[in-house]
Structure 1
């Protein structure tokens, strides 16, 4: 058995330094409070305005007991009380209005912070490296974008208001109570100190239980995404009951952790309520004794009790604020964890080569006589070369590529064949820079792919994946994915080449028909044709087809094979072959086995000298 020699790649630019391994974090972890403040910092001016307005309203509330004392004193001495009553009424109304305005401003700030966090998370998730996404559960990412940011919105105003307004007003209230009667204040503070100790002990437990609850909610999202991602398989396997059980267990975990958090919050709230009742009874008893002894007047006792009633909700607000701060901090930490995941560094569209045709970037894309987009030098196709490439998907896993070397010239059709697990699809993933090789070089157009700007690299490539994903939305949206709407004549041409014009003609709204979740309203073959049409509309310089016709019937497969052959005349086309009919028309065939290039040649050459290829061909390559 002979092997065709792998072509050496020489005279190219030196390999770029290997990038830092993916899957880690891009910076040190922040504490929960720092993470929460980081989300609120851009809106500090608006938050400060809301706090000032709310504080002014609270200060007006503090004047109300003094105004009530003045009313009682005037009435006791027979003086007219109309003026003080009017002042008291004005204070009540103005205080309530300002408190409402302050609350509105804080809520608006929270909504802005949440919107910004969701936008940052969306941008971050879409720029994550492929290995990071593969090591992360999609359902958990969804939970962090939705439920965790919702918690941020719910808790931020209460936490900030309690931390600033609640603290200042509580201190002012205590000072005014001391001015009225220092003895009663000491009695009150002795009771209030009790709740402070309880809150200090309970607050960390609230935060820990909240984090566990959010993690459990994330696991519900993970379980649900798993089921919806294979919905028909679950039904066909009769696995509804089993999968429902998994969802129920995840929900039960969330319930248990939620109950635990609620229990600690209840302890905190109960302590606050007890303080109010006990303080009132103690002050009422001690104050009554002081009134009886003549130490203070009745109006002073009433004013003190009014301050006590005003202090009670402030203490409750502080206690609740501490709990909400723990909840918000836990949510902020989970959001911060996503924002620290490794991402790809994709250049802005202004500095990248856009897709061909209407999507091209002026000055960066040249156009050949045939109307195809190319590099600045007018090239319309790119050669590909692998030079001693070794690759492992993750540390400790078996090696997928063992010094893979081959070269493919610009233009022409090259087929990759071999048993399952030979590393054929990995070739495409390395070209697209979804992963980085452990060693060796992958070259496109004579240049290491690590030296290409990512946006430019991918704009030159049309890629049809093995599972041909179709996104929810209209057929037109899927065809124009990643670029502007193609010209009508170009769209018509590609629809005809891929026989999608017949499909669009059958749909109720043509190209504007919604294809459903993951293209569920289309057949497998129709989804493959959508993916191929989408790739052709990019007018790529390199077309990667990973078993792109495996679900097509013979007639459509033959038509698309002719289309691919025609495209290969002025474009480099790489195909992971599934059918012998595709392989026999290829200009060259790369036979892979166990992560190595076994042989390279034409169909006739390989049939004569490579036993594995001969065996695969005799079984119609169905094992590939």
Structure 2
């Protein structure tokens, strides 16, 4: 991904401003090209302003019996030159518009990927995608041609009015009356276009969110025969988007109709009044024709003004939605990523940690305290919902503790630069997600500079050799969206290999062996214990075979540390631990390649934010 444009990045860091001013700030880095494109467009418009006057000279030459070849050639030259200049100006502005969109998209991509996990939890990813794609597209024309056309059309309109005044002040007053009426009507219509556009874009975001939800659980939807219900929800969202779009189209059509109605009415009135003036001898025929040509010429600046004002309302609606992303809380990566050098294992200490996902939700942790220092294996056990996975989220600083401290090597994780903190940690999530792309890209995500020898070693360690040999292109084979072309156990081994390839000082494994069969679980357990000889390894465990190998076991219950000790100690003195083992919540041995269903997600069911 390209680096975000620093100037645009700085704009989005600033406090919210008026949408019109923010729109100009997006366009300002390209002001030179805007100036060139605007100047070319203006010159093209000036040639159009000259054409009615040259037509008057042609008519006067015809009436006076003078040669007309010179005036006609001159008129033809002006027409051709104006067309070429106008086309060039349009190209420059369109190209600049694409550059404006590129800058904003680069910045938005950087901000979206840097969102705090808590911010993403309460948002709809489909709506965020809509802001990155559809809303930024709306900026393309309004941030360039829209701004320049407002200026150019205004100047040309004023210039045309001045020339009209020279030809006939009386007819000019009639024309100005019509233009003033249009302006008053536009003052009522244009704000409605802006509101309708913002609502239409929001409805597109809702539809994208619904589709993203379906694709995120596609097999579940099909297995539940829920296609009809999901299609009905999508259809309802599509109809709502259609209604909003029709509203925008209606107001936009009304704006265009009003402008054209004013010009056409002016033409008919000017034709009648001007014809009477010609009949009375107070105005020449050539002057009336020139005036009418000017009136037709002004249709373009007036239409352009209406179009630009409409685009401006559309663009301001997009700016408001884009700025809402700019106001979301971002992570500060801090120091640049560094490859963790071979060093002593990391030390982890939680002291009186309390945590809730949202101020309105109940506490997940109630004063959790424990230490995991030096090399060795620490197991977190407890009933579902006791807060085991949340411990990992606090160590990784996906969330910040509500109170208390989470320390790594004696330093509060909030005082670590994020990239420096996470470069020390290898993390294997419970559902072992993989990304669309090649197997190599998934393995090297956390260690892009890993050597081929390191990669081969970790593939052997994670028992991925058979997978690499089976795939048609080996490491370069795509594994599909969410890794659909490989099994759940293989996805889990990919996630483990990815974490090990980073050579972390702290390895966090959330039920990392849950989808492995007995043979592979035993092999990965050996890998885990081997890593624990040199690394601080913390696992969320349900299986007795994992727990009995741990130097220390932390028993969590309802967000509190109930007991800490070895397997033998806890069996002897802690009833809950003894019941967990006896009740098979800590399974004695894996029997199939399937994940247990009792591990909680990072968010409790009550936290369903939109």
Q: Secondary structure at the match of 1:468?
A: coil
Find 2:524's aligned residue among 560, 563, 573. Answer: 560
1:182-581 aligned within 5 A? 182-349=169-336, 352=337, 354-356=338-340, 373-374=341-342, 379-581=343-545
1:133 to 120, 123, 145: 120
User: Alignment partner of 1:544: what SS?
Assistant: strand
Contact 1:587 1:602 survives alignment (8 Å): yes
SS at match of 2:39: helix
Tell me the secondary structure at the aligned position of residue 545 of structure 1.
Answer: strand
1:565 is displaced (CA, Å) by 0.3
Secondary structure of residue in 2 paired with 1:106: helix
Q: Spell out, residue by residue over 1:443-466, the C-alpha distance to the aligned partner (whole angstroms, 9 max, x if none).
A: 111211111111110000000111
Classify the secondary structure of the residue corresponding to 2:516.
coil
Q: Provide the aligned length of Structure 1 versus Structure 2.
A: 577
Preserved contact between residue 384 and residue 407 of structure 1 (Cα < 8 Å): yes
- 1:317 CA displacement: 1.2
Instruction: Compute the displacement of 1:38 (Å).
Output: 2.0
* Aligned residue in 2 for 1:36: 23
Residue 348 and residue 406 in structure 1: after superposition, are their counterparts in 2 closer, same or farther (change >3 A)? closer
Is 1:156 paired with 2:143?
Answer: yes
Secondary structure of the corresponding residue to residue 589 of structure 1: strand
Cα shift readout 1:568-623 (whole Å, capped 9, x = no counterpart): 00000000002111111111100000000000000011000000100111133155
Hey, what's the Cα distance between the residues in 1 that align with 2:359 and 2:316?
Answer: 33
TM-score by length of 2: 0.93
Q: Report if aligned partners of 2:167, 2:287 keep a CA contact under 8 Å in 1.
A: yes
Q: What does the per-residue CA deviation read over 1:486-531, in whole Å, with 9 as the maximum and x for residues that have no partner?
A: 2111111110111111111111111111000011111111100000
1:583/1:603 contact within 8 Å kept: yes
- Contact 2:335 / 2:417 at 8 angstroms: preserved in 1? no
Contact 2:432 2:495 in 1 (8 A): yes
Q: Any conservation in 1 of the 2:101–2:137 contact (CA below 8 Å)?
A: yes
Contact preservation (8 Å) 1:541, 1:571:
yes
Q: What is the CA-CA distance between 1:162 and the residue it aligns to? A: 2.8
Q: Is the 8 A contact 2:24 2:143 kept in 1?
A: no
Name the residue aligned to 2:5. Answer: none
Q: Tell me what 1:369 maps to.
A: none
Does residue 45 in structure 1 map to residue 45 in structure 2?
Answer: no
By how many angstroms is 1:41 displaced? 1.4
Q: Write out per-residue CA displacement over residues 346-377 of structure 1, whole angstroms, 9 at most, x where no aligned residue.
A: 1252xx4x134xxxxxxxxxxxxxxxx24xxx
Gaps of 5+ in 2: 1-11, 588-597, 600-610
Within 2, Cα distance between the matches of 1:405 and 1:505?
A: 46
8 Å CA contact 2:346, 2:536 repeated in 1: yes
Q: CA deviation at 1:482?
A: 3.5
Segment of structure 1 superposing worse, 299-308 or 157-166: 157-166
Distance in structure 2 (CA, Å) of the matches to 1:139 and 1:355: 34
Superposed displacement of residue 485, structure 1: 4.1
Residue 35 of structure 1 deviates from its aligned partner by 2.4
TM-score by length of 1: 0.91
Please tell me whether the aligned partners of residues 158 and 324 of structure 1 are also in contact (alpha carbons under 8 angstroms): no
- The answer to whether the 8 A contact 2:100-2:143 is kept is no
In 1, distance between residues paired with 2:322 and 2:335? Answer: 25
C-alpha distance in 2, partners of 1:163/1:135? Answer: 40
How much does 1:419 deviate?
0.4
**2:443 & 2:451 partners in 1: Cα distance?**
12
Higher relative contact order at CA 8 Å, sep ≥6: structure 1 or structure 2? 1
Q: Is the 8 A contact 2:446 2:499 kept in 1?
A: no
What does 1:82-93 align with in structure 2 at a 5 Å threshold? Answer: 82-93=69-80
Tell which deviates more after alignment, 537-546 or 276-285.
Answer: 276-285
Structure 1 spans left out of the alignment, 5+ residues? 1-24, 357-372
CA contact (8 A) 2:131 2:321 kept: yes
> Which residue number in structure 1 is paired with residue 602 of structure 2?
none
Structure 1 counterpart of 2:67: 80
Tell me the distance in 2 between the aligned counterparts of 1:412 and 1:554. 23
Secondary structure at the counterpart of residue 406 of structure 1: strand
Aligned mates of 1:306, 1:348 — CA distance in 2: 66
Are the equivalent residues in 2 in contact too, given 1:475–1:513 (CA < 8 A)?
Answer: yes
The SS at the match of 2:406 is strand
What secondary structure sits across from 1:470 in the alignment? coil
